[in-house]
Structure formats: C-alpha cells, structure tokens
Amino acid sequence: RVIDPKKPVIVTAFDWSKPKSFHFLRPIDMPNIIYQAHMYEPMAFTYQKAGKPPRTYPGRIYGKQVDKGTLREYLQPVRDFQLAYNVPIYIGEFSAVRWAPGAEAWLNDVISIFEEYGWDWSYHAYRESHMWDLELTEDGGNKERATKPTARLQVLKKWWAGNKRACE
C-alpha cells in the first residue's frame, strides 16, 4: 500500500474461498480492498464424475432439494459480509462440470444472484480444462468441440451481453 495505495487488492477467505468461510473473515482497514469468493456449491453437483449416476440441477442431492433458493443459502455468508461491511465482492471462480445435467440452469441461477447482489464475477474456466470448457459437448465421455454453441456458453453470452459496465 505504501508503493501504490490506489491499486485494488483482492482478498480471499480460507478453504478455497468457499462462501461458508466468510463467517470467519474480517475486513481489512485499507482502501480499495475487494473480497473474493468461489462458488462450486453443491460440490456433489458441480464436480460430479462422468460415467457415474448423474446428479441433476435443480433436483435432489443427498436427500436435499437444490434449486435457486438453495444457492442463495450457500451464498448467504458472502451476502451478509457484503452488507455488514459495505464492501465489494468478486466471484473469481464458479462453474459446474460440462456433463452435469442442468449445468446451464445452475450457471444462469448463480449469475442472476451475483448480478442481483451487485457482485463482479468471472467464469472458471473458459478453455483451461475439459471439465469446464464451454465449447466442448456436454458428453463427459469425450473432449469434442460442439458443432453449435452449448447451452452453457449461451447462458454466459446472455449475461456477458448485458454487462454494460465493462463496456463503458
């Protein structure tokens, strides 16, 4: 901060910056601090293995109905932190594996919550891994490029098109 007091600094919570970790985070008394969270909840859906019995969103996962309301519950510690301390929030990672049934609905629901709360976000990871790649088919048994935009890519493009702040 002595060298550059204006540069934003991103601070993450412990445990891979999971939303529940925000219960333990305390704000830093410095200007231009941005607090980052990652969203992969419920992990039984977002990280499911290809070839195993699929977990669908929305749907029952480990006996609990998971839908947009449940996603809000997962994100509530971050929202509480934001409101308590009036700080900016950045979702630096979120995704669901490409073969997860309903991944496009999960993406749409989490992004709509991020936008509602005024959080900045970036998708993880556009082409970095075959697990998350928006341009590969939803079939987890292969790594083929889709011949038309995937449902997941269409969701992201819809939200990117509405992001006027980045274009101003």
Q: Which amino acid is at 104?
A: E
pLDDT at 70: 98
- Cα separation, 4 vs 53, whole angstroms: 51
Structure tokens at 38: 């990652």
The model carries a pTM of: 0.93
Question: Is the pLDDT reported for residue 165 higher than 70?
Answer: no
Q: Which amino acid is at 155?
A: V
The structure tokens 């333990």 sit at: 24
The structure tokens 């702040």 sit at: 165
- Cα separation, 45 vs 106, whole angstroms: 9
Question: Is the pLDDT reported for residue 167 higher than 80?
Answer: no
Neighbours of 147 (CB within 10 A): 7
Q: Which is nearest to 75 in space by CA: 83, 86, 64?
A: 83
- Cα separation, 77 vs 101, whole angstroms: 27
| pLDDT-above-70 percentage for the chain | 97
What are the residues facing 35 on neighbouring strands? 11, 89
Per-residue pLDDT tens digits for 133-156: 999 999 888 889 999 999 999 999
Question: Is the pLDDT reported for residue 110 higher than 60?
Answer: yes
- Long-range contacts (CB closer than 8 Å, 24 or more residues apart) made by 105-109: 105/57, 105/58, 106/45, 106/46, 106/57, 106/71, 107/152, 107/155, 107/156, 108/155, 108/158, 108/159, 109/67, 109/68, 109/71
Structural contact between residues 35 and 88, judged by C-beta atoms closer than 8 angstroms: yes
DSSP one-letter code for 48: P
Tell me the Cα Rg of the chain.
Answer: 17
Question: Is the pLDDT reported for residue 51 higher than 80?
Answer: no
pLDDT at 166: 52
Average pLDDT over residues 43-70: 93
Per-residue pLDDT tens digits for 59-103: 999 899 999 999 999 999 999 999 999 999 999 999 999 999 999
Neighbours of 120 (CB within 10 A): 16
SS3 call for 9: strand
Structural contact between residues 95 and 125, judged by C-beta atoms closer than 8 angstroms: yes
